[in-house]
Amino acid sequence: MKKTDFKKKIVLGILFVFPLLVYLFFASGKNNFAKLPVLTAGLTEISELDSLTSIKFKGKITILGYWGGSLEEKQAEALNLNEKIYKRFYEFDDFQFVFLVNEEFSEEVDKLKKTLKEGVGTDLSKWNFVSVSKETIQNHFESLKTPLNLSQEGSTPFVFIIDKNGSLRGRNDDEDQGTLFGFDARSVAQINKKMIDDVKVILAEYRLALKIYNIEREK
């Protein structure tokens, strides 16, 4: 057998066998694929906070924030999140932003959206603002069970990743904080170094689960 023919057979063997081995690895049920740990399960659904809204955690990957004070003070955070996270991921069907805002400042929502649209024309259809009382914001925030605190106005610069089951996801082995519950929207560095990666991980987790489900169904 010629040396070139032998090399071709090796290459062809790798091309056919490797995808099969990858599938068997994941189908075996071993949980070696990197996932964001569940830090707090069973959060209260958004629709239970406001009976008039159709926004839900279930079936969506949500970036959740608590903006209880004046939204004018949140413009820098909103721009950071819009540029670094929303514009990168909003085309995924199951992705959304949700912010609980103090009902006393609900009129400022349109002003904030206008600021986000100026110059870039971003599609803000997946930016969702739910107007509730300051007490409701406080109660829901406490259900996350984090060591973080809201301001007196019911606001925080931190945003959180919520999975399709309504559970808080984050890191339990962060090199800087140990357990990373949320991301500081004021910090472009933290968004770039950590938040983008973690959103990618959870999106990949669900895409992989869907692919395996489709393969199993086609058997």
Helix (H) or strand (E) holding 189: helix 188-190
In the chain, where are the structural domains located? Answer: 1-32, 38-217
Residue with more model confidence, 18 or 128? 128
Residue 103 · residue 135 · CB < 8 Å: no
With H, G, I as helix, E, B as strand and everything else as coil, classify residue 112. helix
Residue 22's pLDDT band, with cuts at 50, 70 and 90, is: very low
The label of the residue with tokens 């500081």 reads 184
pLDDT at 190: 96
Sign, CA dihedral 45-47-48-49, equals: positive
Percentage helix, strand, coil for the chain under 3-state DSSP, each rounded to 5: 45, 20, 35
User: Does the pLDDT of residue 121 top 90, yes or no?
Assistant: no
pLDDT at 215: 66
Superfamily of domain 38-217: Glutaredoxin (3.40.30.10)
Own/partner long-range contacts of 209-213 (Cβ < 8 Å, ≥24 apart): 212/23, 212/26, 212/27
179-213 residue pLDDT tens: 999 999 999 999 999 999 999 999 999 887 666 65
Share of the chain above pLDDT 90, in %: 59
Residue 32's pLDDT band, with cuts at 50, 70 and 90, is: very low
Please give the mean pLDDT across all residues of the chain. 84
Comparing CA positions, the residue from 134, 140, 16, 159 lying closest to residue 70 is 134
pLDDT at 60: 94
Query: Residue 181's CB: how many other CB atoms inside 10 A?
Result: 21
| Four-point Cα dihedral 179, 183, 184, 185, nearest 10 | 180
> Exposed e or buried b for every residue in 108-135, given b needs 16+ CB within 10 A?
bbeebbebbeeeeebebebbbbbbbebe
Q: What is the pTM of this model?
A: 0.81
Comparing CA positions, the residue from 157, 55, 67, 151 lying closest to residue 108 is 67
The label of the residue with tokens 């925080």 reads 156
User: Does the pLDDT of residue 3 top 60, yes or no?
Assistant: no
Comparing CA positions, the residue from 146, 216, 215 lying closest to residue 183 is 146
pLDDT at 115: 87
